[in-house]
Structure 1
Amino acid sequence: MFTAPHRRLNRLTGEWLLVSPHRATRPWQGQVEDVVDERRPEYDPSCYLCPGNDRAGGATTPEYTSTYVFDNDFPALRPETPAEQLGDDGPLVMESERGICRVLCFSPRHDLSLGEMSLDAIRRVVDTWNDQYVQLGSIDWIRYVLVFENRGAMMGASNPHPHGQIWANERLPNEVARELHQQQMYAANGQCLLCDYLAVELKHDERIVCANEHFVALVPFWATWPFETLVLPRAHQGALPDLDAGERDALADILRRVTRRYDRLFGVAFPYSTGWHQRPTDGEAHPEWHLHAHFYPPLLRSATIRKFMVGYELLAQPQRDITPENAAQLLRSLPED
């Protein structure tokens, strides 16, 4: 692999990434974060996501024993938003956007994370993701359902209780629209972009982090974040409802293994944003779409040093120093238990 500065094409978005391997050896004198002790009690009386506690919106969280889903008390999108539009060919363009925002508690226990939960408990999370995708996607005006999790204060999580979110949009979000276009362009030749990509990764085995019978976790060739990973089903599946029971078990296993490796990398509860990109729910078949999850963690060199998207990244294109190959080697070398 190249050791000199070079560009890599992100096949999923069509955008280029600058890789500068030689810069990984430079002295670091940047920002250092405080390491937060994240030891938590099993139940926190001040946590609005713990069973039996009151939420800011006035509701009470029930005494749930598994997963629990509720409509966000302070949603970014609302289903009753009236239709409005401003311009379509001038410099000022605006249109209203309806949507539904929900919160998914992974567990009633305040002290756990996804990687610390049992496989059965993670499988229940997978099943709940599936149910929410089906339920929200069946609403006639919902075009996309995004399941995601922000873990850690560094990623903007307002509460350490294990939870994620589901946002359902009236229109396709930007990242999804870009990925849809790229997959459709590739499928014009009768092939699946991510099926072909996964075959190449399995052949070379340079960026594979871990795998099982049905899923593979890898650092993508075009990764922007230092320890970014992509989780892919080996079979061509478009959304979570396409997975059978064995594949859902395998998904729970791979999620546990990936998140546990993250926590062992720098010896801290590893922050990240992760989410599932599934086929749109716009009534079209979308045979080109291949189900996948992105993990975007910000930590760069240690528990206290993170990657910033500034300067060149904001004004030109993404750039990274540590290569995806080296990142994958580090993650692969870590124990899972």
Structure 2
Amino acid sequence: MNHQTIKIAQKIGLKPVYRRFFEKADGRDLLLYGYAPHAEDPLPEQGADIAKGGELRWHPLRREWNVFAAHRQNRTYKPSSSTNPLAPSEPGKPATEIPFTDFELAVFENKFTSFHPDAPIAPVIDGVKTDAAKGRCEVVVYTPESSGSLATIGQERRRLLIAAWIDRYQALFEMGCKYVLPFESRGDEVGVTLHHPHGQIYGFPFVPKPQADALRAFEEGFDLAADIERFSTRFAVVDAGPMQAICMPYARFPFETWICPKERCAGPWDMSEEALDGFANLLGEITRRYDEYFQRATAYMLGLHAMPTDGPKNFHFTAQFYPILRAPDRVKFLASVEQHTGVMTVDVMPEQAADILRAQ
């Protein structure tokens, strides 16, 4: 059986963080992160053939790659609590994705992956530029509990999550991924099919277009730190030491909020201990404020925008929340104009959003 437990480079204060590697019966990787070594024996699993990614096709008018992965049509859809694939396994029952009765935080290769290191050669289509969808897709399970959020899992668990993110950034860059995006989709309105608290990580074989555009802006001299300082009074929501949550005046979604280091850094791996504490605090605090204002579990899309493998020295990391609600009982739909042109109509002024979130 292929498994190994080591201390990873990241520490949380003086506490070491441990990572256990375990190879699942179907060959996929499972990584268990925690403040204590994980030594439990696994429960029996069933092996199965796993699809190894999709294919890339180039859109000549939008000038972007898109991934086609038809096998994802069969992915798990809103299972009952008794068949939750992200829960710990129970003796005498079919194993979940995590064949252990307990864990702190888990990361595993997505069974219904879009990208894979061994993605098949893309078919030849006359007149269409294609490529193999090489890369990696991982699921990050925040907690063994079936309910909760970034606001409720607590500061220690949020710090553990960030430590796992940093470890995965390093691993995926070493695998050859050009861009790495940890993200969380939350809520039915976003299309979430599993409500157990979790996020994902995609390792791309290219830098996606929005991130490539941001890179060009930094290469041309854009100074995000100056913007953060300039907007900090009118648009800020809350500070946490060297980190700040702010509703940028050029936000594209109602109540869009960025968590930013006040001083430039490339990614979470580049942060001080104080900044990591502040980052973890704000991940919970912004989620709490959303839920307080909307009086529900807020549907949002969270993404960490870190520097790719090769970027300018002035690149500035942000974690960006895009809520999909514009009022407590109103969804912000992306309608025809926004989908066809990319021009967003923002129903709530960012300065108003900042005022509302500050008050929560």
CA offset digits 1:272-326 (Å, max 9, x no partner): 0101011102xx3531211111101111122x31111213323442112321111
Alpha-carbon distance in 1 for matches of 2:248, 2:97:
42
Q: Paired residues, what number? A: 279
Aligned to 1:47: 84
Q: 1:213 to 1:58 in 2, by over 3 A?
A: closer
CA offset digits 1:90-123 (Å, max 9, x no partner): 9633333311100000111112111111111111
Aligned to 1:71: 109
Q: 1:324 to 1:60 in 2, by over 3 A?
A: closer
Aligned sequence identity (%): 28
Identify which of structures 1 and 2 has the higher relative contact order when contacts are C-alpha pairs closer than 8 Å and 6+ apart.
Answer: 1
Structure 1 length as normaliser, TM-score? 0.77
> Aligned runs of 1:197-276 on 2, under 5 Å?
197-202=227-232, 205-276=233-304
Give the counterpart letter for 2:249 in structure 1.
F
Give the superposition deviation at 1:61.
3.6
Aligned to 1:126: 162
Say if 2:141 is the partner of 1:105. Answer: yes
Aligned to 1:35: none
Q: What SS does the aligned partner of 2:201 have?
A: strand
Contact 2:87/2:145 (CA < 8 Å) preserved in 1? Answer: yes
Give the counterpart letter for 1:111 in structure 2.
S
Q: Which sections of structure 1, spanning at least 5 residues, go unmatched?
A: 1-42, 187-191
Structure 2 length as normaliser, TM-score? 0.72
Alpha-carbon distance in 2 for matches of 1:293, 1:148:
9
More strand by share: 2
Aligned to 1:3: none
Contact 2:218/2:312 (CA < 8 Å) preserved in 1? Answer: no
Select 2:192's aligned residue among 157, 162, 166. Answer: 157
Alpha-carbon distance in 1 for matches of 2:235, 2:166:
28
> Aligned runs of 1:294-313 on 2, under 5 Å?
294-302=320-328, 304-313=329-338
Q: 1:59 to 1:194 in 2, by over 3 A?
A: same
Q: What SS does the aligned partner of 2:281 have?
A: helix
Aligned to 2:356: 330
CA offset digits 1:58-88 (Å, max 9, x no partner): 855423431101101110111112455869x
Select 2:211's aligned residue among 176, 179, 183. Answer: 176
Give the counterpart letter for 1:65 in structure 2.
F
Q: Which sections of structure 2, spanning at least 5 residues, go unmatched?
A: 1-79
Contact 1:278/1:290 (CA < 8 Å) preserved in 2? Answer: yes
Give the counterpart letter for 1:124 in structure 2.
L
Alpha-carbon distance in 2 for matches of 1:53, 1:287:
49
Select 1:290's aligned residue among 316, 319, 325. Answer: 316
Aligned to 2:4: none
Give the superposition deviation at 1:267.
0.7
Select 1:279's aligned residue among 307, 315, 319. Answer: 307
Contact 2:88/2:96 (CA < 8 Å) preserved in 1? Answer: no
CA offset digits 1:138-158 (Å, max 9, x no partner): 12x211111000011111111
Alpha-carbon distance in 2 for matches of 1:56, 1:248:
38
